[in-house]
Amino acid sequence: MSKNIDFNLLLRVVRFSFDYKRMFYAALIMALMLAPLGALRPYLINLGVDKYILNSDMSALLTLCWVIVSLVIVEAGLRFFFNYLTESLGIHVTRDLRIKIFNKIVGQRVRQFDQTPTGMYITRIINDIESIKTIFSEGLLTIIADIITIIAILIMMFVTSWQLTLACLVVMPLMVIATVIFNKKVKGSFQRVRAQLANMNAFLQEHLSGMTIIQAFNAQKREAARFREINRNYTRANLDSVLYYAVFFPVVDIISAAVLGLMVWWGARGIMDGVVTLGAMVAFPIYINTLFRPIRMLADKFNSMQQGLVAAERIFNLMDDTSVNEDSGHLQLKNVEGHIQFDHVSFEYVEGNPVLHDVSFEVPRGTTLAIVGSTGSGKSTIINLLMRFYDYNQGFIRLDGIELRDISKTSLRSHISLVLQDVFLFSGNVRDNITLKNPDITDEAIFKAAKMLDAHRFIMALPGGYDFLVSERGYNLSSGQRQLISLVRALVYNPSILILDEATASIDTETEAIVQFAIDKLLRGRTAIIIAHRLSTIRNADNIMVLEHGRILEQGSHDMLLQNSGSRYSELYNIQFEHKLSAGL
C-alpha cells in the first residue's frame, strides 16, 4: 500500500494541522488508548472461561463481567471523542485550505481565467478540498489507530495461544495481496472520478449562465445530449470504483471465513492434544472478528486517504503555479496625476499572433482619449495592459513617468476605475455592489456620488432603496440601471484615472442620454480613456485614436478627423450618421 501513497504529499497536508497541534496530539493519544481496550475484551473472556466458568466461580465471573462492561463504556466514550477530534481537525484544516486556495484564485492573472473553465475552480474549492478532510477524519489518524489496534490484538492472540495465532496467519498473505490490488485499482478510479466531476461542474456552470442563449436558439436537446454523455462518463468512473469495492469486501469475508475454519480445525485438535484451552477456542473467534474489522476498514481508509491525496495533489498544483501572482512592482503610489504614456508597446495573447504592433501615444493629465476601431483592432487590449491584467511583451507603459512594472498592481488599480459594457453586479444589496464591501466607504460618500451622477433618485425608488436585493448578475435591474450603479461604484472610489470600455454600447438611446450625463460629470478633472462604438458619445474627447489591426491609423480631435474626408474616422462617422437617418425614416 505504501507504494501507492505519496508520503511527501501526505506530509504537506499534515503540516496544515500543525496550527491545531493540541487537537492532533489529543486524537493521537486517544488512538493509543483505544488499541489495548479492543484487544483486552477477548483475553478477559478467555480468562473467564478457563478460570471461572470451568471452576464454577460465579462471584469472580460476575466481577469480570462488570469489568468488561466498564471497558466497553470507556471504549465507547474514547471512540466518541476520537471521532469528534478527527472530524473537527479535518474541518478546521479544510477551512484554512479553502481560504488559501480562494485567495490564490482571486489573485491570478486574467489569462488564467481565460484558459480555465470556472467550473474547474469550483471543483477545487468545494469538492477537492472537501475530499482532503477525509485524510484526517477517515485517513491518517484512524489508520494509525487501526494499525496500533491490529498490533495489540496480534500480541494478545500470541499471549492467549501462539498455535492458534499461527494457524490464523497462514492465509494472511492473501489479504495483503487483495488489499494491494484493491488500492491500485481504486486510486485510478478516484482520479477518473475527480476529472469527470470537474468536467461536469464546468459544463453546468457555463450552460446555466448561458441558458438564455440555449433556449433562444432551441439548443436544449443538443446540450442535453452533451450533458448525458458527460454524466455517463462520470457515472462510469463511479461504477468502476463501486465494482472494486463490491469485489474486495466479499474477498475479505471469504478470507475471514477461511481463517475461522482453519482455526476451528486446528483448535479442536489442540484441545484433544491438550495444547489449546477451551477459553482460547471461545476467545479466538472474537479475536478474528476484532482483527479483521480494522483490517477490512484499513483498506477502505487507505483509499479514503488516497482519494484525499488525489484531491490534494490537484489543489497543490494550483497553489504552486508560479505563473500566477507575479508582481514585480514595489512602488506604492500615494498621489497620481494621471499622465499615461505608451512607448512602442507590442503584445500578443498567443505566441506568434501579435495583437498590438509598436503602439505609442500619450494621454496628458486631466484629458480624455477616445479609442475607436473595428472588433479585434486592439482597443480592449490597451485597457488590459494599462490595468496590468496582462504584461506587455515589448516597449514601455508609464504612469506619471514611472514604468508600470515598477508599480504594485494593488497600488496601480487603487487609482483607476473601470466601467465595462457588460456590468457585473453581485448577489446582494445595491450598497454592497457600489462599495464592494469596502469598510472605508461611508454611506455619506455613497449618497454624494449617487446624487452627483443623478442615480440617487432611481435607487431610492427601488423597494428598500440602497438595501434593494440585486439578483445574480443584476438581472432584476435594467441595463441602464446596472450601468448607473457601476458608474457610482467608479466615482465612489475617487479614481485619478477613469476607463470606460463601451459603457453605453448595450443601452437604448434614451437611457444613453442619462448615462452620458453621468459620464460627463464623472470625467471632470480626471484622465480618461474611452472605448466607444457610438462615435456621437466621444465628440468632446480631447484626442481620438483610431486603431486598425493593432496599429494606430490616425489621431486627432473630432473636428480635425472629420475635416479629412478620406480618414477612417470620417468613414465610420458617416456610416453611423447615415444609419441613424435611415432608422429615423
**pLDDT number for residue 216:** 63
Residue 387: all three cell numbers together: 490595468
Residues 6+ apart with CB under 8 A from 527: 337, 338, 339, 340, 363, 364, 365, 366, 367, 368, 496, 497, 498
Contact 256, 22 (CB under 8 A): no
Contact 497, 528 (CB under 8 A): yes
| Distance in angstroms (rounded) separating the CA atoms of residues 556 and 542 | 8
Length of the chain: 585
Contact 506, 421 (CB under 8 A): yes
Q: Which residue has the cell 492473501?
A: 174
Residue 423: all three cell numbers together: 456590468
| Distance in angstroms (rounded) separating the CA atoms of residues 16 and 7 | 15
The full DSSP string for 397-459 is: EEETTEEGGGB-HHHHHTTEEEEESS----SEEHHHHHHTT-TTS-HHHHHHHHHHTT-HHHH
Contact 227, 208 (CB under 8 A): no
Residues 6+ apart with CB under 8 A from 286: 41, 42, 45
Contact 519, 462 (CB under 8 A): no
* Strand 527-531 versus strand 497-501 pairing type: parallel
Residue 43: all three cell numbers together: 483475553
> Which of 92, 352, 321, 299 minimizes the C-alpha distance to 182?
299
Q: Which residue has the cell 475617487?
A: 494
Residues 6+ apart with CB under 8 A from 155: 39
> Which of 13, 14, 34 minimizes the C-alpha distance to 24?
14
CA 123 to chain centroid, in Å, comes to 6
Residues 6+ apart with CB under 8 A from 484: 453, 455, 458, 514, 515, 518
Number of other CB atoms surrounding residue 444 within 10 Å = 8
- Complete domains list, the chain, with CATH: 2-319 (1.20.1560.10), 340-584 (3.40.50.300)
Contact 425, 470 (CB under 8 A): yes
Position 397: which residue type? I
Give, for all 585 residues of the chain, the pLDDT tens digit: 444 567 788 888 888 888 888 888 888 888 888 877 877 888 888 788 877 787 777 888 788 888 888 888 988 888 898 888 888 888 888 888 888 888 777 776 666 666 666 667 777 777 788 888 878 777 777 788 888 888 888 888 888 887 787 777 777 777 777 777 776 777 677 778 877 887 887 788 777 767 766 776 677 888 888 888 888 888 888 888 778 777 777 877 787 777 777 777 777 777 777 777 777 777 778 877 777 777 777 766 777 777 788 788 888 887 777 655 556 678 888 888 899 999 999 998 877 788 899 999 999 999 999 998 888 888 888 988 998 888 887 899 999 999 998 888 888 888 988 888 778 888 889 999 898 888 888 999 899 888 888 888 889 999 999 999 988 777 888 888 888 888 888 888 888 898 988 766 656 666 667 777 777 777 888 899 988 777 777 888 889 999 988 899 999 888 888 887 777 888 877 776 655 544 444
Position 505: which residue type? A
Query: Residue 271 class from Cβ within 10 Å (0-12 exposed, 13-18 middle, 19+ buried)?
Result: middle
| Distance in angstroms (rounded) separating the CA atoms of residues 504 and 487 | 11
**Start-to-end CA span in the chain (Å):** 80
Count how many Cα atoms sit within 13 Å of the Cα of residue 268 in the half-sphere of its side chain: 5
Residues 6+ apart with CB under 8 A from 116: none
**pLDDT number for residue 217:** 62
- What pTM did the predictor assign? 0.64
> Which of 534, 493, 495, 543 minimizes the C-alpha distance to 513?
534
Number of other CB atoms surrounding residue 578 within 10 Å = 10
**pLDDT number for residue 1:** 41
